[in-house]
Structure 1
């Protein structure tokens, strides 16, 4: 198992993890129509662009298959002045979940934030996503609930925050 910073050639593998993870994690949560429209090709192009602009890390098997990724940076909304960083995304293929990869993928995000003098962080997670328990286990506190709409379906996003990310690792 290897955790490393993503390079543009990783965009396809990241796209596969994102699409496949969404289809397992958000089945019966997000409308099927939305999930069915997600494609590797559309996500791959997005990740090619993001990899050059954001901190993106991948988890790969010994034979080079990408099985998870994380990305993060500065807090994007401006609504949480006590939190300067944000974990934008962390996804792991279902077959590789609950094996410690989540913590391994958060560590380089935290290190990257710390190098930029950012010591607090938020993450947004759908209320029906059980991964919220992972964030709670790592000491995150719920600081807000935001209602979003996906193809007409109203969903709650929970906003979790860590006032000091140095306590996570």
Structure 2
């Protein structure tokens, strides 16, 4: 395998991160999101949103590279207040130490090469350095590849579900949670 690395994203990476997101969603989420929603995704808006996220102090955006080429990214930080609440709005005792993995995508053509694990490991290191002890993420129930990845590292659904409106079509997401003491194989 060519040289792989993970580094902190900089504003100049926003276009590549947007490209990876749109490419991955259009390739992998065709059966999950309606075609018209995927077709309407605007590269300029996506780039602008990632530039803003990269500039925020409250979040970390990491970029995976193989042979110098951007192949995936992840983003996360401390979970906002309501994100860690249970389905009835109850706040867990550890709410102040819960992180949120808001995005983790690797282009399918670069998949199964360890990039997702490296990205999550580096993000977990950052979250632990901030005093966080576990994290959550939301995954479309139909996204079997992501479910398998997270279950493979010991994260499991915690029973909380939400339904998003994707252009008039409901998309059910499960919240997964797990520890931040990850081991790379």
Check whether TM > 0.5: yes
Runs of 4+ aligned residues of structure 1 deviating over 6 Å after TM superposition are: none
Q: Could you say what the CA RMSD is over the residues aligned between the two structures, in angstroms?
A: 1.3
Is 1:51 matched with 2:57? no
Report the CA distance between 1:148 and its aligned residue: 1.7
* TM alignment of 1:1-169, pairs within 5 A: 1-53=4-56, 54-62=59-67, 64-76=68-80, 77-80=83-86, 81=92, 82=94, 84-130=98-144, 131-143=146-158, 144-162=160-178, 164-166=179-181, 168-169=182-183
How many residue pairs get aligned? The number is 166
Matched residue SS, 1:117: coil
> Unaligned 5+ residue runs, structure 2?
87-91
* Deviation readout 1:102-139 (Å, 9 max, x if unpaired): 10010111011111100110010001112111101110
* In 2, Cα distance between equivalents of 1:47 and 1:155: 23
Report the CA distance between 1:78 and its aligned residue: 4.3
